[in-house]
Amino acid sequence: MGRRIDYHRDPNAPAANSVRPSAGAFVEREGAVLLIRRSDNGNRSMPGGAHDPGESPSHTAVRETLEETGSTVRLTGLVAGGATSADRYPSGV
């Protein structure tokens, strides 16, 4: 096992990066997959984002899809779980 490194007293330490639970939606209709263009890097991805306090993963996926695409979706199953770093996008969201 590697040596433990504590950065809390090091002024040159990398910035902390918190992890937040997140959820997204894989939306398929008539063979087409719904993707968004990310505001931070211009790449395409599935709609999704971080949980709000007290929110279930399924509610997060539905809410984020509506916020990011204007589309209302109905969940039919769970594909996977995950977490996202608590980064902020240039828009503040």
Per-residue pLDDT of the chain (93 residues; tens, 9 = 90+): 556 566 667 777 777 666 778 889 999 999 999 999 988 889 999 999 888 999 998 999 999 999 999 999 998 987 766 555 555 555 544
The pair of three-digit structure tokens given for residue 85, joined into one six-digit string: 């770093």
Output the pLDDT for position 8. Answer: 65
Residues 6+ apart with CB under 8 A from 14: 7
Query: Which single residue is written with the structure tokens 């993707």?
Result: 35
Dihedral (CA of 27, 37, 72, 88) sign = positive
What's the rounded Cα separation, in Å, for the pair 68 and 74? 15
Domains belonging to the chain, first-starting first, are 19-75 (3.90.79.10)
Give the type of residue at 12. Answer: N
- For residue 84, give the H/E element and its range: strand 82-85
